């Protein structure tokens, strides 16, 4: 297992120098954030990013993510051009020695929360998702202003984009994902890159938009559609764990034994109601997910890829990107490393 840490580039208030001081962190998870979605990433920009990361003593372990253009998800005639740009990015990343790319196929919205700074009893603040609150929000009117989506959309753009999905069903969205996989996975394999699709977050439809990456059956369909060592999963305990019907240990054991878990986000959430949850510390005692059992299942299936603490609380008065403060994620990395070291010493 390789402990990694998410870094949002030069504009991230959490510096690589700070991350370097977290015990056991050897890799960085990042991306090029100034390239418009759909354009190919230049080799020079990739090389500069890698040099910056390596100059601080880290490996560029994962690119998270290379965004998938909405025209691909919608199956528009322009998708082939965007897929070719995507493939060129993969070739350039492979040439630079990047081993893993994390991506998602969520329509319009990436991970979404209903509140950014819910105050917990201990005084820290955290991200929450309340289904009732989300159901009353209208993203077109600007009700939603969260870090889980692209705020560059105007109201007109947002309305047009949501309207374009009115006739998109789960099955047609799946067909568009299958089309993407058939054309991208062979290029990734040739480039020496393992692709890890991230589960939908939350793993159910929001704002009337379909979502198709939320449970064991949907993940199996993706993996079985293109048989390649490059076609894999980013296991996210928080995303999948938001649905109590998902058996996280069974998912790990099924895909782990097939070596299809290419990357892992290990974070905890506390379920607070039907389709509602709040993000907690990484500790098993603080959330609904037994993190010790999750890491034990990863260990038993021989997981040796990158893992990272994910969304954390904002603690000790820290200000910054919601969910991505330094302190709580550093505590999470140390906690996860402690569990892994214990497993390694007690299980052989």
Which residues are identified as catalytic?
Answer: 198, 236, 265, 310-311, 324
Closest CA to 157 of 137, 142, 167: 142
Displacement of CA 116 from its chain's centroid (Å): 18
Burial class (CB in 10 A: 0-12, 13-18, 19+), 10: exposed
Closest CA to 100 of 40, 42, 38, 28: 28
Closest CA to 239 of 209, 206, 285: 206
Closest CA to 217 of 272, 271, 174, 179: 174
- Kindly report whether the peptide bond that precedes residue 202 is cis, defined as omega within 30 degrees of 0: yes
How far is residue 140's CA from residue 80's CA, in Å, rounded to a whole number?
28
How far is residue 139's CA from residue 262's CA, in Å, rounded to a whole number?
33
């Amino acid at each position: 297992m390789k402990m990694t840490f998410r870094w949002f580039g030069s504009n991230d208030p959490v510096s690589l120098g700070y991350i370097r001081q977290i015990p056991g962190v050897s890799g960085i998870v990042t991306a090029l954030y100034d390239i418009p979605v759909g354009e190919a990433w230049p080799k020079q920009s990739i090389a500069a990013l890698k040099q910056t990361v390596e100059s601080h003593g880290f490996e560029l372990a994962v690119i998270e993510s290379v965004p998938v253009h909405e025209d691909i998800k919608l199956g528009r005639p322009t998708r082939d051009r965007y897929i070719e740009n995507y493939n060129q990015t993969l070739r350039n990343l492979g040439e630079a020695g990047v081993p893993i790319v994390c991506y998602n196929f969520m329509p319009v919205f990436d991970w979404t929360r209903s509140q950014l700074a819910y105050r917990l009893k201990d005084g820290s603040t955290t991200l929450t998702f309340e289904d009732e609150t989300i159901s009353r929000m209208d993203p077109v009117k600007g009700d939603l202003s969260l870090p889980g989506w692209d705020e560059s959309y105007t109201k007109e753009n947002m309305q047009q984009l949501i309207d374009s999905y009115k006739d998109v069903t789960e099955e047609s969205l799946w067909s568009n994902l299958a089309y993407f996989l058939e054309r991208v996975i062979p290029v990734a394999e040739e480039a020496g890159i393992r692709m890890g699709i991230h589960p939908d977050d939350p793993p159910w439809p929001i704002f009337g938009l379909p979502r198709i990456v939320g449970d064991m059956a949907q993940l199996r369909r993706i993996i079985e559609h293109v048989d390649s060592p490059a076609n894999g999963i980013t296991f996210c305990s928080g995303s999948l764990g938001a649905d109590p019907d998902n058996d996280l240990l069974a998912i790990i054991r099924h895909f782990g034994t097939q070596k299809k878990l290419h990357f892992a986000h290990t974070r905890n959430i506390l379920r607070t109601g039907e389709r509602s949850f709040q993000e907690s510390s990484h500790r098993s005692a603080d959330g609904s997910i037994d993190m010790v059992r999750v890491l034990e299942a990863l260990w038993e299936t021989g997981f040796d890829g990158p893992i990272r603490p994910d969304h954390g609380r904002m603690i000790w008065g820290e200000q910054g990107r919601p969910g991505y403060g330094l302190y709580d994620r550093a505590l999470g990395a140390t906690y996860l490393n402690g569990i892994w070291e214990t497993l390694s010493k007690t299980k052989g």
